[in-house]
Amino acid sequence: ANFSEQVVESFPSDISTGIYYGWACVGNGDVHKMVLSIGWNPFYKNIKKSVETHIIHTFRDDFYGEILSIVIIGYIRSEKNFSSLEALISAIQEDIEEAKRQLDLPEHLKLKDDKFFHLPEGKTVTH
């Protein structure tokens, strides 16, 4: 799930690029583990900074247009380039496993139930 350019520009300018882990919720759905990439994605030679969320869950349907709420809990590693797509995929898989391990810790697990993720009925969040 990629955030729009407008949302990316609203992120704090001093946040370091790299790979993070945390919790994500689509709409008023369940809260899932996630890995977040903030940066330029050098492998793909992006010219604009992006914020890409990989929710560690298989969804039955697309969720385009839904509100994506995230809480960033921790930092995994800095952004880097890769010599091949296979190396990139391998690193992503390692990042996912690290995120799962970290988010299973009691101090991180308790944040999954934070009221931040539960919008009041009929309410929407605007930028």
Q: Which helix (H) or strand (E) holds 52?
A: strand 50-55
Respond yes or no: is residue 52 known to be catalytic: yes
| Residue from 5, 9, 52, 94 carrying the catalytic annotation | 52
Identify any residues that bridge with 23 across adjacent strands, giving them in sequence order: 33, 71
At 43, which amino acid appears?
F
Quote the DSSP letter at residue 28. Answer: T
- The rounded distance, in Å, linking the Cα atoms of 21 and 95 is 8
Given a contact cutoff of 8 angstroms between Cβ atoms, the answer to whether 52 and 36 are in contact is yes
CA distance 43 to 92: 13
Contact indicator for 73, 111 with CB cutoff of 8 Å: yes
Catalytic residues: 52
